[in-house]
Amino acid sequence: MGRRVVALGLADPTFQLVGAIDHADSDQAGQDSGSVAGEAPSGVEISAQWPALDDASSPKAVVDFSLPEAIDGCIEQCVKTQSPLVVATTGLSEEQQQRLAEAAKAIPIVWAPSMSLAVNLSMKIAEQITAALKDVSGGLDVEILERHHRFKADAPSGTALKFGELIAGQLGESTQHVHGREGHTGARTREEIGYHAIRVGDNPGEHTIVFGMLGEKIELNVAASNRDCYASGALAAAKWLIQQQKGPGLYSMFDVLGMA
């Protein structure tokens, strides 16, 4: 994702790339970030050293697509330099989510498991479908299937979990989150949301929400054709934080997209 954020950022004249952070042992450390992204050289080397972010003459924002191991250091740097932050990394622990919320009292943060416009719109649609069907005669079964590339480290996807959280918000507090099924599970209860994580090839991300009833079903499918929907969404979020001069707070892509 770092490569696509760099490539799309370089293509947008409203952005100036000032840093490209990786860990010190990265194979790419010391290389030009534009070249690594498959673009013309940017003049910005990939480095573990953070650039100066607190120069008030030009507003800066940080976009993080990394790993849960990296997020604490990133938050620390952004709080220290008062930099707006976009967090796209998924698989954060409860403690890390709390640290993010704490940091958002000091700086503006957009945090979303999917920066995609289509995914965020689908989340709103999923909430509406659930609200309309939750009391349907015979009951409603919601199952969430997600497909991603074989390299993905976390399961289920952050997006699948967010779909589940929003749907559970409509279904009620007794909702159980069931991850996969195996063996003699007994009949499915009406309180469950089932999650199924598929890892195949180079799939850039696909989510299917199945709303099953007795006699009919709805399937809401949203799929990326490539990863640019996430990179451009993250850049839009960075632009939103800067242009709207957002104060401290924890924002979502719903806020950025005007869907909150």
Ligand X SMILES: O=C(O)C1=N[C@H](C(=O)O)C[C@H](O)C1
- Residue ranges for the known binding site for (S)-2,3,4,5-tetrahydrodipicolinate are 149, 158-159
Question: Residue 180: which region, alpha, beta or left (left: phi > 0; alpha: psi -120 to 50)?
Answer: left
Give the tokens for residue 56.
Answer: 């008030």
Binding site for ligand X (CB under 6 A): 90, 113-114, 148, 152, 157-159, 205
* Distance between start and end Cα atoms, the chain: 26
- Give me the amino acid identity at 56: A
From 134, 152, 177, 239, the catalytic residue: 152
Q: How far apart are CA 141 and CA 226, in angstroms?
A: 30
Question: Which CB atom, from 159 or from 175, has the smaller least distance to ligand X?
Answer: 159
Name the DSSP letter for residue 199: E
* CB 47 within 8 Å of CB 30: yes
Question: Which CB atom, from 158 or from 164, has the smaller least distance to ligand X?
Answer: 158
9 binds, among ligand X, ligand NDP, none (CB under 5 to 8 A by kind): none
Question: Residue 148: which region, alpha, beta or left (left: phi > 0; alpha: psi -120 to 50)?
Answer: beta
Lookup result for tokens 């949203």: 222
Question: Which CB atom, from 68 or from 248, has the smaller least distance to ligand NDP?
Answer: 68
Q: Is 23 a catalytic residue?
A: no
Q: Is 148 a catalytic residue?
A: yes
Question: Which CB atom, from 85 or from 112, has the smaller least distance to ligand X?
Answer: 112
34 binds, among ligand NDP, ligand X, none (CB under 5 to 8 A by kind): none
47 binds, among ligand NDP, ligand X, none (CB under 5 to 8 A by kind): none
Binding residues for NAD(+): 39, 88-90, 112-115
Binding site for ligand NDP (CB under 6 A): 1-2, 21-23, 26, 65-67, 69-70, 88-91, 112-115, 154, 230
Give the tokens for residue 19.
Answer: 């840093």
Lookup result for tokens 């719109």: 121
Binding residues: 39, 88-90, 112-115, 149, 158-159
Burial of 96 by CB count in 10 Å (0-12 exposed, 13-18 middle, 19+ buried)? middle
Give the tokens for residue 49.
Answer: 């050293």
Minimal distance, residue 157 CB to ligand X, in Å: 3
Question: Which CB atom, from 124 or from 152, has the smaller least distance to ligand X?
Answer: 152
From 60, 148, 196, 207, the catalytic residue: 148
**Among 107, 220, 205, which residue's Cα sits nearest to residue 158?**
205
Give the tokens for residue 130.
Answer: 């659930």
For the chain, state the CA radius of gyration: 20
**Which residues are catalytic, by number?**
148, 152
